[in-house]
A and B are shown apart, each in its own frame.
Chain A
Amino acid sequence: MAVETESATSPSVVPTADTASAGAEAHGATTGAEHSAGLPQFQFQHWGGQIGYMLILFVALYVLMAKVFVPRMRRVLDERAATIADAISSAKAVQAEADSRAEAAKRALADARAVAQRTAAEASAKAAAEMAERKAALETELSARQAEAEGRIRAARDAAMGQLAAVATDTAEAMLEKLTGAKAPRAAVATAVKSQG
């Protein structure tokens, strides 16, 4: 903006003043008069030169674009797209591999767990069987001992009962002898005691 203002405020005399004015009577026209004639854009004597030059520049620019700049840009953009596509596909491959590895690890873990469970079950079954066996052995031993003890108790009782009859007979014989003074036959006394219970 500064440039524009500066050049505009400087007293610039339009050099086209004498050539632009066509008529001889307008020869002395000031630059101000020329401006008031309308927009400078409609001074058609300047059109041809501008248009021709613009077309030349445009064609030159177009050729440069089509032959140099656009292919360069296009190449690097395509290259980038290819690079990105490559990176994505390789990332996908890596991910797939990682997935399969994780799957394998999971399967191995499951296998190991199954084996461990089977081993544990086997061990516990074995332990239970051993225990049952020992228990059974202990039980038979105990019952044998019990039976033996019971037999002994029964024998002792029988013996005691047997001796009880003899003691009763003896006592009855002694009482008879004391009361009657006569000796009663032992066998009769024994039968009498036995019949009493």
Chain B
Amino acid sequence: MAANDPIHQFQIEKLVDFGVVNLPVFGRTELAFTNSHLAMTLAFVAVVGFLTLATSKMQVVPGRLQAVGETLFGMIDNLAESIIGHEGRKFFPFVFTLFMFILAMNVLGLMLTFTVTSQLAITATLGLMTILLVIVVGFIRNGPGFFKLFVPSGVPIVLLPVIVLIEFVSFLLRPITLALRLFGNMLGGHVALKVFAGFVVALGAMAASGGLGLFGIPGAALSLSMVVALTALECLVAFLQAFVFAVLTCIYINDVVNLGHGH
């Protein structure tokens, strides 16, 4: 039954169909404006709208909205500055864009019927994009010296092949962990929410039929309180995962920007 299926919320549904094409990498691809596109657009509009309002009348003594914007800005700014150092400012727009976009998609996912960041396609793209930036910056900065990233200093020559292999594999795993962490958190949280919400409805229906079904009422009440608690937790997770993504991005960028010193 689709109605109570906790997975159904992740289903892509077409709002406007543009037909089917064959793309080289993705194979058969359905082009459409889907609920995912709609949610992404809303997140984009939310971020742009918020930042426009927050920065439209900038004052030295901030108003409320400006203070919120500055708090988010300052948080990521401090993060980039403390992890990457004085060059953090160059990469700050990228990190801040990532953070705000993911945060908006996560938070909107709690209010809409669809969560974009629970789509592996999206989180994988974000992870790959980050690691591609790291690789490109690494090669521009260090040239072939980029490969020193896999050779930590002060390792005995005997252990070197093993260490290099481990470092290389861990580097390859970075985009995967970036993608799966965000995807898994969003997926799990929303499935749990949906399951408990489904319990409320099912047990409530049982209670409505009367008789022994009335024992469903405490169960339904418990499930409802779980939904409330999980919603609070998911609000935290929505923020935290965006922040974690930003922190890891900063760390990975720092690895290649300050390669060789303070590794």
**Chain A contacts to B: CB under 8 angstroms:** 1, 3-5, 7-12, 14-16, 19, 22, 31-32, 35, 39-51, 53-55, 57-58, 60-62, 64-66, 68-70, 72-73, 75-77, 79-80, 83
Contacts and interface: CB of A to CB of B under 8 A. Distances in A.
B1 A32 contact: yes
Contacts of A7: 113
B37 A61 contact: no
A77 B3 CA distance: 50
Interface in B1-45: 1-5, 7-14, 20-21, 23, 25-32, 34, 36-37, 40-41, 44
A42 B129 contact: no
Interface in B98-150: 100-101, 110-113, 116, 118-122, 125-126, 129
Contacts of A55: 125, 129
A45 B18 CA distance: 13
A193 to B, nearest CB: 130
A58 B194 CA distance: 29
Given A66-B93, A73-B69, A75-B58, 9 more contacts: A16-B30, A32-B2, A35-B2, A35-B8, A40-B7, A48-B29, A61-B47, A61-B101, A64-B51
Interface bin, chain B:
35 or more
Contacts, number: 174
A9 B30 CA distance: 27
A51 B125 CA distance: 7
B153 to A, nearest CB: 34
B101 to A, nearest CB: 6
Given A39-B7, A58-B97, A9 B201 contact: yes
5 contacts: A4-B197, A8-B194, A12-B3, A47-B26, A70-B93
Interface string B196-227: 01000100000000000000000000000001
Nearest to B183: A41
A60 B100 CA distance: 13
B96 interface: yes
B193 A16 contact: no
Contacts of A11: 2-3
Contacts of A48: 21, 23, 25-26, 29, 31
A73 B53 CA distance: 12
B120 A41 contact: yes
Contacts of B100: 61, 65
A72 B74 CA distance: 13
Nearest to A6: B113
Given A50-B121, A55-B125, A83 B14 contact: no
Contacts of B167: none
Given A3-B111, A35-B5, A45 B58 contact: no
